[in-house]
Amino acid sequence: MTANHSSLLLLMSFAAGTFSAGSSSNPQHLMLSLPSGGVPNSPLPLIIWPGIVPYDDENPTEDSAAWFEKTFTRNGWPAAWRAPIFPYTHYHPNTHEVLGVAAGWAEVLFGGDSGRMVTLREGDAVLIPAGVGHKQVFASEDFFTVGAYPEGMSPETVRDEPSRLRASKEKIQQVPLPSRDPFTGGEGAMTEIWLPIAQQLMHQ
């Protein structure tokens, strides 16, 4: 399937309503480039890895949380915490963020009030560009994620506040593109999807 065809199918699924990230084994992406209220969002797309944790019923491995922590840290995204997602719209203007769903499920609103709802389940992961709003709307009681950031980065958390929009946009423009994919440690879905967009932005 071509990247353009995949993008079209993804956009169609979001237009139809809540998108289930577990419907495909391939990394998928969603553009949330326009501001929403006080949420700046980003020209870099949200990237979703459905069911990326390897499960083997005959030879069970470690739990999902431990797998995400080990994988993120090994690949230059040190695992920072285990927790649900905040139940209010927020974003990080100074760093990108990757979340691995360690247990349960949740419906998460990305992109602010005019954004899209995504259903995430245990084993899924999502890479959130700096500036993209996110908010946990509904979730199972056992839901939590493992959060991680590129090495050396510590998140600043900003709510949907229009008065801070201009300052946040300036910070987002200074956030470096990570050099390592959180699942491969080198080239991967992140570099394949983000790098061409970042290069195009540099030449505008």
Q: Average pLDDT, whole number, for the chain?
A: 87
Continuous H helices in the chain: 3-16, 64-74, 165-173, 189-202
pLDDT top residue among 197 and 105? 105
pLDDT, tens digit, for every residue of 9-20? Answer: 333 333 333 444
CA dist., res. 28 & res. 102, Å (int): 19
> What are the extents of the domains in the chain?
3-199
Cα–Cα distance, 76 to 39 (Å, whole number): 27
Segment 101-131, tens digit of pLDDT: 999 999 999 999 999 999 999 999 999 999 9
Residue 40 in contact with residue 115, Cβ under 8 Å?
no
SS3 content of the chain, % helix, strand, coil (to 5): 25, 30, 45
Assigned CATH class of 3-199: mainly beta
Give percent of the chain above pLDDT 70: 83
Which tokens belong to 177?
Answer: 């593109």
Q: Which residue has the tokens 């719209």?
A: 89
